Structure 1
Amino acid sequence: MDEVHEGVCETHIGGRSLASKILRAGYYWPTLQQDCMHKVQHCDYCQRHAPVIHNPVEQLHSSEGLKKKLEDSKGEWAELIPEVLWSYNTTEQSSTKEIPFRLMYGCDAMLPVEISLQSPRTASVNEDDNIENRRTELDLVKENQNKSTLQQLAAKRAIAWKYNKKLKPRTFLEGDLILRKIEDVQKPPGHGKLSTNWEGPFRICKVIGKGAYKIQTLDGTILPNNWNISSLKLYYS
């Protein structure tokens, strides 16, 4: 457990991912999950560099920990890229329920701990069976990639459904007074952080549909182009 968590690659992954990686390497004991959770909770490095994530399950699988590790390393981040990529490519991703290395090559990566401490697949290797099994794995690579794609699409739809469920539709009517967002390309030189990001008021002169509107100034001058509702908000005098 120590070797996988903080050994040669210093992955420092979450408890559930740690248990999953150890299990895939061929090791098991009854308190595996509990011990991995305890290991992460009492790891000084993990506690110092833990990302602020309110959902504990998300924290176990999230790549935010790897991102945080790179951010904290400042100018030395380039030296950490190999171990960060290794950790990412050998850890199950929550969006696909798959391991990037396995999706690419059709099999799990050989972890350093399997060489130093031995595992079932390194201790009992049969060359003939290994070649046959490898051919089967390569035949299934495309199928596993397709399944992973569908899993990712399902996860995205679930997130979108949850977001849209709480979303309140917003529309404007002709004659409504609104403010227009100042896009970055429209900001004049010297536009500071404390400057306003909205300008107006303007008036809705035509509802085009699907969130698009024609707007005009208060003196009746119609502005060119259509404006999306994401760039507009109600003006309260």
Structure 2
Amino acid sequence: MVELLSKVEVKQISRNENYRADMLARMAATVDSKLSKSVPLEVRTSPSIGEEVEVDELPGVLWAYQTTHKTATGETPFALVFGHEAVVPAEIGIGTHWTEYFNEEQNGEQICLSLDLLEEKREGASQKAAQCQQRVMRYYNKNVRMRQFRAGDWVLRKVNQNTRDPNHSALGPKWEGPYRVIRAVGPGAYKLAYPDGRDVKRSWNAEHLKKYFQ
């Protein structure tokens, strides 16, 4: 054993000659310094996954999630972390243009270039996510009908499971009241009072109220 170890030689290779080491250094430099370096541990007394779920399938599910393009960003989570797309295991068995014409030297150069452009890619994904949120907000607001009430207005309140009379069946009244609006306590939220002047315990959203005409 001593004879074998005496023949071991450690040779230092510069980062310019070793693109793999340079690639790892670039990846480490892109990590946000604000991220926590500690790994939280949680001791569970019972399994967090039901018995009907196959634990062996979890790595495949996570891999599929990480390599699937998201509508909001237009990118895969894997690409936003490492700067380039991952080779799906199925591509190795079937054979694609990506795997058939693989060139290690050119691949290393492209990976380094992707790491240089990683921040730009993340900013583009962030802008796309903001645009997607705006589209969803416009679609939602287009179908929303704002209901506004003033102090002194009389309204009916929608019956829900918490306020439904247990003696009423499913064919019972859908609205109850009337109630008098005391004041607005927030955007679309109102404080109500019973006809005898007693305050209703909590405020109610305008979505559950409608104007009462005497």
Identity of aligned residues (%): 30
| Higher share of residues assigned helix | 1
Equivalences for residues 206-217 of structure 1 within 5 A = 206-207=183-184, 210-217=187-194
Return the alpha-carbon distance in structure 1 between the equivalents of residues 212 and 91 of structure 2: 64
- Give the direction of change, closer, same or farther, for the CA distance of 1:167–1:121 in structure 2 (3 Å limit): same
SS of match in other structure, 2:192: strand
Task: Give 1:125's match in structure 2, choosing from 87, 102, 105.
Answer: 102
Question: Which residue of 2 is the match for residue 88 of structure 1?
Answer: 65
The answer as to whether partners of 1:171 and 1:211 remain within 8 angstroms in 2 is yes
Question: Which of residues 115, 120, 130 is equivalent to 1:143?
Answer: 120
Q: Which amino acid aligns with 2:153?
A: G
Residue 203 of structure 1 pairs with residue 180 of structure 2: yes
- Aligned letter for 1:178? L
Distance 1:198 1:109 in 2: 56
Report what 2:79 is aligned to.
102
The amino acid of 2:194's aligned partner reads T
Q: CA-to-partner distance for each residue in 1:97-139, whole Å, 9 max, x for gaps?
A: 1122211211111122332233333333333322222111112
- Structure 2: distance between partners of 1:198 and 1:80: 49
- Structure 1, unmatched stretches of 5+, are 1-72
Change (3 A) 1:230 1:181: farther
Output the CA distance in 2 between the equivalents of 1:197 and 1:81: 45
Matched, 1:176 2:154: yes
| TM value normalised by structure 2 | 0.59
Aligned-partner residue type, residue 182 of structure 2: C
Between the aligned partners of 1:117 and 1:228, the Cα distance in structure 2 is 57
Tell me which residue corresponds to 2:37.
Answer: none
Q: RMSD of aligned C-alpha atoms?
A: 3.6
CA distance, structure 1, for counterparts of residue 116 and residue 174 of structure 2: 55
Q: Find 1:152's aligned residue among 105, 125, 129.
A: 129
Alignment match, 2:111: 134
Task: Provide the C-alpha distance between the structure 2 equivalents of 1:132 and 1:121, rounded to a whole number of angstroms.
Answer: 15
Distance, in Å, in 2 between the alignment partners of 1:109 and 1:139 is 17
Deviation at 1:228, TM superposition (A): 3.3
Q: For residues 211 and 126 of structure 1, what CA distance do their matches in structure 2 show?
A: 61
Partner of 1:114: 91
Quick check: 2:191–2:203 contact (8 Å CA) kept in 1?
A: yes
